[in-house]
Structure formats: structure tokens, C-alpha cells
Chains A and B, each alone.
Chain A
């Protein structure tokens, strides 16, 4: 397949996935269980991205206690829980990471 055709079809495919339920739910009434499920989508899918991301250091999984990202992530979760403030959480997480990177070498 010509690379340009591949890129065009990959784009269409991706777009189709993103558009799927936006169009479908125009026509079809949502079952109650589906509505209930939707409430959990952000927390579930983003958590499934967050946790592996904390262990991932430049493409390799680091499960050792010397991985500073894990501890900075735990601290960020605590700050987010207490303050409910997005910028405070990001600042605390990155500051903690920089300090820990220095301490843990």
C-alpha cells in the first residue's frame, strides 16, 4: 500500500472511532446501564493511563523503589486529593520529581 494511502486510511479509521458514539447516540436512546457506565469512563480510562505511566521511564518499566516517578506520583495524588487544585498538583509532582531525581541519583 502506498504510504499516503495508508496515512489517509489510518486517519479516517481514527476519526471514525472518535465520531462513532457521538453520531450513534444521536439516533439510539441510551440504555440506563450505559448511562450509569459513562460516569466511570474518565476515572477508569485515565487511571489506566496514569499508573503504568508512573512506572515508565523513557520507555522501560522500572519497578524498583529507586524510581523517583512513583514517589512523586504518590505525592501528587495526595496533593490533588487535599487541594483539588490542578496547578498545585502538577507543580508539586514535578518539584518532587526533580528533588527525588537528585537524591536517588
Chain B
């Protein structure tokens, strides 16, 4: 089901919108960093051997890095590549 894709399913360069979270019990920092439902983000790269993911949030010059375990908590709906 497309609804249950997480950030980990994104390919490099792919853009998606956050639609929810896998559980209620996620670090508060995810919210505070602005990884909120409705936010559009792009996966820019990932380090080898399941290393952290490098994300860019729309309209924000700062980047965010997550481990795969956190990326897995954030559910997304991927958008058509423009």
C-alpha cells in the first residue's frame, strides 16, 4: 500500500510529502525539527552500509540527517517527479 511507505522507500533525488507516523512513540525532536504532516521533502543522498539519510525540506536551506531507524517512522506519499 502506498500509504505505508516510509522515507526509507525513497530513492535518491525523489520527493515526497509526509502523511503521518508509524507509531505514537517517536522522539519529540522529529516534530520540533519540522518533520510534520504536509511537509514536502527530498532525499538527497544516503551514506553506504545503511548509513544516515540526507534530507532537504522544501524552502529550508538547512538539511536534516536521520538514521534509517528514524526514517522508517515517518510515513510518506511520494510525488510525481517534476
Asked if A and B are interacting partners, one says no
Mark A residues whose CB is within 8 Å of B.
none
Mark B residues whose CB is within 8 Å of A.
none
